[in-house]
């Protein structure tokens, strides 16, 4: 379908060139300070007509032309209207107040504003799971670079322990943590528990910058060019105001994912991030970052990032990303939410113009183009699960497999105890939903391996289990078309019992086309879809093959349309034998 433009006569086809011309013209008009003059209502009239209170509105930090685009167009999507009426940032204080009022009986659940409960609370990291667990919430945190210390791990356990089977945690594909089973009247307790150990859930959902990823072996990796941890932490602190919330950056057109890659492995998966920063050695011999832009997955479009033709120094990482967010905030699409991700803006105005706009926000005339790098040898992306020597002599990192990323309260406590006993008191979680314990002395490895937790989270798992990734699935997520986590673990166990798998095979499960499980980056991807068996509708999966990650990534392509999910074992067995060298035991 060709792109369309809204006119007073309806929607008309619009070429990419014309979209770029219109966007450039609008940006030029703003740069000159001119205003579009027509017979339309003024901005103040629109605010009055729509009862906009600017102190509560998400329009507060937007330039006037952006406000006009939102308020002056009847085709603005419902989320823009909801944000204009009341910014999600208001929930940062209201959530805790509401929790106390619910406990005291001062307000009833039925009296709550549904837009607050189902949408705006996501700005505070609270996601109502109305379809699967009504009245209970998932809480998404911010865990920069995936680093957690022992006190934080124990606090995560304390947050979910009271909720029984509903209380669990997940490691996400953004090296983040999500907690489940939280009732709203207990949200203030959970928020305070997290705050006391330096964790925050603010700005983790909806139209915000999401958890910033780096390398799970940052600072200990013999192959890294630079340590991603201080860069990720500084950017997170500025974006979120040290976890307290930053209203100026919380009303983006859509979310932004940022990944920082510091070795040729690209552990952050820059190719599927809106903003990917890939470490390279610059012409002066100093390490900097080439920028990639626009990678994302959605129901309507799946695309890898494109070269941003930009090179930045480490001390420009935060200023660059803040400037990019401001440009995106002010100029991104506000009508069609399916065309509001960063890639659409970059395509509309062009990579070079986009780079210059960001440079000017940074107070520069322009930024250098990308550094072209070639290597004499191919680089095989490393598997961090297992026992590996660090660059620090005598120290090792231990990578353990968390099947499908699922943890219960006791698991968090056990990991805290182990990392304190054998390491430096910290762990790192990865985008592959596994965990790394760094800085273990070689002499302590045998004792560590004998700890009870590693019977569940294996250090030497099978070649399928170590590569398993799964989204939440229908157990908790209302969008999922199938159950994923529990099914995926059961199927992997069955396959490993019946097949000899000669090497790592990455199998990703995702419950719907939003692809939170990132089926398109996997060796084998399974995506929930409707299917039929014996003429009856059943849960099904589409199968994708051929995704590659690391230095030369590519997305998987569809191999088989929806098959019944109950037939996944024989289908996967054939694929593993035909394409990955598996043999029957």
| Residues recognised as catalytic | 140, 254-255, 511, 516-517
Residue linked to tokens 């029957």: 584
How are beta strands 468-470 and 507-510 bridged, if at all?
Answer: parallel
Strand stretches in 227-337, DSSP E: 258-261, 275-281, 287-293, 296-297, 302-303, 306-312
Q: Which of 471, 390, 470, 485 is nearest to 428 (CA)?
A: 390
Q: How far apart are CA 101 and CA 127, in angstroms?
A: 19
Please tell me the distance from the alpha carbon of residue 372 to that of residue 149, in angstroms, as a whole number: 38
> Shortest CA distance to 171 belongs to which of 516, 504, 455, 507?
516
Q: How many CB atoms lie within 10 A of CB 502?
A: 12
Q: Which residues pair with 564 in a beta bridge?
A: 540
Q: Residue 462 belongs to what H/E stretch?
A: none
d(CA 430, CA 441): 22
How far is CA 408 from each of CA 108, 473, 476, 507, 516, rounded to the nearest angstrom?
31, 17, 15, 23, 21
Q: Edge to edge, what strands does the sheet with 275-281 contain? A: 258-261, 275-281, 287-293, 306-312
- 533-555 in b/e form (b: 16+ CB < 10 A) is eeeeebbbbbbbbbbbbbbebeb
Q: Which two tokens mark 156?
A: 């995560």
SS3 360: helix
As a residue count, the chain comes to 585
Orientation angle between helical segments 78-85 and 64-71, nearest 10 degrees: 120
Calculate helix-pair angle for 342-349, 16-32, nearest 10 degrees. 90
Stated as kind and residue range, the H or E segment containing 94 is helix 91-104
Query: Exposed, middle or buried: residue 93 (CB in 10 Å: 0-12, 13-18, 19+)?
Result: exposed
Are 95 and 187 contacting, i.e. CB atoms less than 8 angstroms apart?
Answer: yes
Coil, strand or helix at 319: helix
106: exposed, middle or buried (Cβ count in 10 Å: 0-12, 13-18, 19+): exposed
Helix (H, G, I), strand (E, B), or coil: what is residue 297? strand
- Shortest CA distance to 169 belongs to which of 189, 139, 144? 139
């Amino acid at each position: 379908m060709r792109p369309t433009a809204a006119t007073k006569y309806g929607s008309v086809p619009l070429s990419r060139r014309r979209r770029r011309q219109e966007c450039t013209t609008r940006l030029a008009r703003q740069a000159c300070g001119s205003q579009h003059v027509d017979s339309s209502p003024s901005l103040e009239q629109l605010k009055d007509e729509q009862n906009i209170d600017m102190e509560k509105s998400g329009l507060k930090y937007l330039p006037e032309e952006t406000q006009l685009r939102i308020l002056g167009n009847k085709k603005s999507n419902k989320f823009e209207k909801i944000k204009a009426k009341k910014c999600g940032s208001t929930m940062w204080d209201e959530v805790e107040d509401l929790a106390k009022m619910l406990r005291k009986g001062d307000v009833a659940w039925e009296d709550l504003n549904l837009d607050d409960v189902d949408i705006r609370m996501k700005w505070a990291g609270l996601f109502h799971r109305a379809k699967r667990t009504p009245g209970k919430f998932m809480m998404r945190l911010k865990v920069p670079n995936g680093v957690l210390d022992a006190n934080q791990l124990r606090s995560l356990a304390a947050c979910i322990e009271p909720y029984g089977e509903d209380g669990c945690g997940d490691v996400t594909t953004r090296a983040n943590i999500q907690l489940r089973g939280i009732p709203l009247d207990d949200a203030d307790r959970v928020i305070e528990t997290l705050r006391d150990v330096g964790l925050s859930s603010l700005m983790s959902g909806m139209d915000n910058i999401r958890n910033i990823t780096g390398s799970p072996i940052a600072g200990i990796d013999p192959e890294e060019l630079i340590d991603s941890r201080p860069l990720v932490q500084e950017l997170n602190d500025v974006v979120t105001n040290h976890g307290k919330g930053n209203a100026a950056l919380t009303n983006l057109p859509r979310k932004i994912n940022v990944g920082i890659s510091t070795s040729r492995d690209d552990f952050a998966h820059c190719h599927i991030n809106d903003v990917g920063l890939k470490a390279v050695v610059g012409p002066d011999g100093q390490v900097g970052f080439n920028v990639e832009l626009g990678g994302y997955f959605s129901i309507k479009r799946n695309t890898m990032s494109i070269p941003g033709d930009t090179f930045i120094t480490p001390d420009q990482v935060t200023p660059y990303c803040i400037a990019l967010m401001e440009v995106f905030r002010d100029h991104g699409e506000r009508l069609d939410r399916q065309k509001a991700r960063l890639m659409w803006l970059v395509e509309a105005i062009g990579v070079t113009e986009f780079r210059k706009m960001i440079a000017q926000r940074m107070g520069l005339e322009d930024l250098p183009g990308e550094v072209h790098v070639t290597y004499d040898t191919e680089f095989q992306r490393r598997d961090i699960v297992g026992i590996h020597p660090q660059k620090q002599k005598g120290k090792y990192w231990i990578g353990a497999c968390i099947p499908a990323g699922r943890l219960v309260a006791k698991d968090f406590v056990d990991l805290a105890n182990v990392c304190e006993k054998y390491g430096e008191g910290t762990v790192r979680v990865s985008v592959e939903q596994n965990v790394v314990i760094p800085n273990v002395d070689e002499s302590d490895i045998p004792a560590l391996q004998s700890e009870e937790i590693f019977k569940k989270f294996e250090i030497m798992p099978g070649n399928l289990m170590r590569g398993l990734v799964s989204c939440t699935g229908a157990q908790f997520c209302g969008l999922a078309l199938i159950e994923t986590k529990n099914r995926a673990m059961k199927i992997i166990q069955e396959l490993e019992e019946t097949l000899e798998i000669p090497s790592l095979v990455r199998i990703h499960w995702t419950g719907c086309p939003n692809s939170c499980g990132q089926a398109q980056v996997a060796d084998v991807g399974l995506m929930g879809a409707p299917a039929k068996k014996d003429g009856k509708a059943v849960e099904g999966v589409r199968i994708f093959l051929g995704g590659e990650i690391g230095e030369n990534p590519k997305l998987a392509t569809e191999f088989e349309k929806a098959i019944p999910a109950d037939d996944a074992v024989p289908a996967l067995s054939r694929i593993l034998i035909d394409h990955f060298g598996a043999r029957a035991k």
